[in-house]
Amino acid sequence: MNSPAYKSAVYAALILAIGMGFGRFCFTGIFPVMVDEGSLTLAGGAYAASANYAGYLLGALLAINTRPDDSFKLCLYSILGTALTIAFLALYKNVWFFIAMRGLSGVFSATAMVGASSWLLQYKGNNRASPVLYAGIGFGILVSAELIAIGQHFGLDSAKLWFFLGGMGLLVGMPCILLMKVDSAGKTAGEIYTDVHSAEEFDKWKLVLIYGLAGFGYIITATYLPLVIKDDLGIAIGIHVWAVFGLGAMFSCFFWHWVQARLGSKNSLFVNLIVQSIGVALPIFSQTLTGYLCSALLVGGTFMGFVTIAKSIALQISHEVRVNLMAIMTTSFGIGQIAGPLVTNEIYDVSKSFSLSFLVASMALIIAAVISVKANRNI
DSSP assignments along 116-148, one per residue: HHIIIIIIS--GGGHHHHHHHHHHHHHHHHHHH
Res 191: pLDDT: 45
CB-based contacts of 236, cutoff 8 Å, min separation 6: 149, 152
Residues 160-175 have pLDDT tens digits of: 999 999 999 999 999 9
What is the three-class DSSP state of 155? coil
Residues 109-160 have pLDDT tens digits of: 989 988 998 888 878 887 777 788 889 999 999 999 999 999 999 999 999 9
Region of poorest pLDDT, from 29-43, 65-79, 194-208: 194-208
Residue 194: pLDDT band by 50, 70, 90 thresholds? Answer: very low
pTM, full prediction: 0.85
| Listed ranges 50-64, 162-176, 203-217; the one with the highest mean pLDDT | 162-176
The average pLDDT across 212-220 equals 92
Res 16: pLDDT: 95
Residues 97-112 have pLDDT tens digits of: 999 999 999 999 989 9
Q: What is the 3-state secondary structure (H, E, C) of the chain?
A: CCHHHHHHHHHHHHHHHHHHHHCCCHHHHHHHHHHHHCCCCHHHHHHHHHHHHHHHHHHHHHCCCCCHHHHHHHHHHHHHHHHHHHHHHHHCCCHHHHHHHHHHHHHHHHHHHHHHHHHHHHHCCCHHHHHHHHHHHHHHHHHHHHHHHHHHHCCCCHHHHHHHHHHHHHHHHHHHHHHHHHCCCCCCCCCCCCCCCCCCCECHHHHHHHHHHHHHHHHHHHHHHHHHHHHHHCHHHHHHHHHHHHHHHHHHHHHHHHHHHHHCHHHHHHHHHHHHHHHHHHHHHCCCHHHHHHHHHHHHHHHHHHHHHHHHHHHHHHHHCCCCHHHHHHHHHHHHHHHHHHHHHHHHHHHCCCHHHHHHHHHHHHHHHHHHHCCECCC
Going from N- to C-terminal start, the domains of the chain cover 3-373
What is the three-class DSSP state of 202? strand
Residue 378: pLDDT band by 50, 70, 90 thresholds? Answer: very low
- 264 sits in the region (left: phi over 0; alpha: psi -120 to 50; else beta) called left
Residue 197: pLDDT band by 50, 70, 90 thresholds? Answer: very low
Res 210: pLDDT: 93
Res 259: pLDDT: 93
Residue 203: pLDDT band by 50, 70, 90 thresholds? Answer: confident
Res 204: pLDDT: 77
Region of poorest pLDDT, from 70-79, 127-136, 214-223, 309-318: 309-318
Spatial contact of 155 and 164, defined as CB atoms under 8 Å apart: no
Res 44: pLDDT: 92
Q: Is the pLDDT of residue 257 over 90?
A: no
* Sign of the dihedral through C-alpha 233, 240, 307, 169: positive
Res 48: pLDDT: 93
Res 180: pLDDT: 87
Cα 222 vs. chain centroid, distance in angstroms?
A: 9
Residue 261's Cβ-count burial label (10 Å; 0-12, 13-18, 19+) is: exposed
Spatial contact of 266 and 310, defined as CB atoms under 8 Å apart: no
Res 63: pLDDT: 81
CATH class of segment(s) 3-373? mainly alpha
Q: Is the pLDDT of residue 322 over 70?
A: no
Cα 359 vs. chain centroid, distance in angstroms?
A: 21
Res 97: pLDDT: 94
- State how far the Cα of 16 lies from the Cα of 330, in Å rounded to an integer: 14
**pLDDT over 90 for what percent of the chain?**
54
Q: Is the pLDDT of residue 290 over 90?
A: yes
Calculate ∠ Cα 217-198-195, nearest 5°: 115
